[in-house]
Structure 1
């Protein structure tokens, strides 16, 4: 591994960060126009109004930035593959409390997971109502190359910036510090869990459906395949098979409460 290899990776990482910031700015502009059109839809009929053409330009810019982000992400993956030693990679799973259970790597998600872009007022209110709730969050921990999904607690939602302030209450033994960590995340990085007291609020995932679920004994979410949906059983649990969870040549079936399972984000690449 040479210093030039590291320099190239860091340079592309800076470019990836710039693209993400540009996308957030475009997203804010799109949401402003959405709000304007929702509040006064008749404005598009006025002579000289360019709201729709402006919206088209913003959508095009957002798509171009997303494509560029995907290209840079793939380039970074290739650069890292070229310098990483062969063999299993990844960080250990975060554990709650002590134990000698085997640690498994976190599932990483590609950086081009599609961002959610809710713009309607009731969606913003729903986000604000999540204060104090646990949600699934896509976060880039310190020193991490790829994003990860884990459970956080919502502290505050800022409607103007469309950002969540969240708390990682169980950083786990794979973090630099054992203390709790706070993050500011855009709306698209958050997926609410179903209400724990309302099984009907959980999707009826069919067998074979890919989902993100909290692995038993951890605070991290991993890709899993549904074996049995919670509405087909006497209990309000799903039976799942987690990726990279092989034991004795097969994937064990694990029971997960319905309120710890969310849909696989659109654009996720297994």
Structure 2
């Protein structure tokens, strides 16, 4: 491993850290604007008020920073892959297959229901349209319940069912066609919103969670390895049944891809 290679990785890491700090500052400003508009919605009707324009610019800035973060992260992954000995790492996995000796989370009991009697709560569920969520789906071939990342297409307030789209059927599926499902509220867990850090849960070290496995669209039971320092920091977790060379590797998972472990989930 040469010094230039190490220097390049360090430079990318520093740039990634700078982008995240800047993102955190922008998100704080966005939240301030949200609170202002909620408390005084009439302010936008005043002549000369630029609140909405400022909010739009903040969102544009947040989007650009997010895209830059993705670009630098991809660059950093490429630099690391180039330094790793060939054959020691697993291939790109959209989902974990049986060849990886990983079992998807089984959910033998219902996830606690989401207060369907409250109209405001139903409205918030309806607002998930177009958002990605964690969904518990029963597999037709095995009858087992597994957790995937899906996109909400529609929420029916009468039946209290979600219609969702599995955008990535995975290489281990018989068909590559995107599939739609209708699921009850108890089978859906919204992901934390990156734009609202005040409502981001902070799971301590040792807590069992449900997390998206890196480079996949599947969620598995994991244990938080260490406490985060900042709200926007990734989680360091260890996935069950993810053993390599006799130990469980520590893997980074973005904070917005980690949720509380539902009751009844086990390996």
The question of a shared fold, defined as TM-score above 0.5 by the shorter chain, is answered with: yes
1:202 aligned onto 2:209: no
- In structure 2, the residue matched to 1:268 is 265
The CA deviation at 1:227 is: 1.0
- In structure 1, the residue matched to 2:135 is 137
The CA deviation at 1:177 is: 0.4
Distance 1:185 1:196, change over 3 A: same
Mapped to 2, the partners of 1:189 and 1:243 lie a distance apart of: 22
SS of structure 2 residue aligned to 1:227 = strand
Distance 1:202 1:94, change over 3 A: farther
Distance 1:217 1:210, change over 3 A: same
- In structure 2, the residue matched to 1:122 is 120
1:165 aligned onto 2:163: yes
Check whether the contact 1:154–1:165 (CA below 8 A) recurs between aligned residues: yes
How many residues end up aligned between the 2 structures? 173
Output one character per residue of 1:126-171: Cα deviation in whole Å (capped at 9) or x when no partner.
1100000000000012212210001000000000000000000001
Mapped to 2, the partners of 1:165 and 1:199 lie a distance apart of: 27
1:103 aligned onto 2:107: no
The CA deviation at 1:96 is: 3.2
The CA deviation at 1:175 is: 1.3
SS of structure 2 residue aligned to 1:122 = helix
Mapped to 2, the partners of 1:134 and 1:240 lie a distance apart of: 21
CA RMSD of aligned residues (A): 2.2
- In structure 2, the residue matched to 1:227 is 225
Mapped to 2, the partners of 1:229 and 1:220 lie a distance apart of: 23
Distance 1:122 1:168, change over 3 A: same
Output one character per residue of 1:18-72: Cα deviation in whole Å (capped at 9) or x when no partner.
xxxxxxxxxxxxxxxxxxxxxxxxxxxxxxxxxxxxxxxxxxxxxxxxxxxxxxx
- In structure 2, the residue matched to 1:193 is 191
- In structure 2, the residue matched to 1:239 is 236
Check whether the contact 2:222–2:239 (CA below 8 A) recurs between aligned residues: yes
- In structure 1, the residue matched to 2:213 is 215
- In structure 2, the residue matched to 1:11 is none
1:254 aligned onto 2:246: no
Check whether the contact 2:163–2:180 (CA below 8 A) recurs between aligned residues: yes
Check whether the contact 1:238–1:256 (CA below 8 A) recurs between aligned residues: yes
Check whether the contact 1:166–1:184 (CA below 8 A) recurs between aligned residues: yes
Output one character per residue of 1:231-266: Cα deviation in whole Å (capped at 9) or x when no partner.
x25852101000001111111111100000000002
Mapped to 2, the partners of 1:189 and 1:257 lie a distance apart of: 22
SS of structure 1 residue aligned to 2:100 = coil
Check whether the contact 1:228–1:238 (CA below 8 A) recurs between aligned residues: yes
The CA deviation at 1:180 is: 0.4
